[in-house]
Amino acid sequence: MSKDRDDKIMLPDEVIISKIYFIRGQKVMIDRDLAELYEV
């Protein structure tokens, strides 16, 4: 893993919260949103 990937990037809470959905009473995040968040 490169040194650049170790740097932390802060995102506003609203960005992450907007990607959390309630499905059948559970909080979930869509895999595409998680991949974008973790840059994979």
Q: pLDDT (tens digit, 9 = 90+) per residue, 1-40?
A: 455 556 777 889 999 999 999 999 999 999 999 999 998 9
Break the chain into its structural domains and give their ranges: 7-37
| pTM score, whole prediction | 0.66
Contact 19, 37 (CB under 8 A): yes
pLDDT value, residue 3: 57
Q: Which amino acid is at 6?
A: D
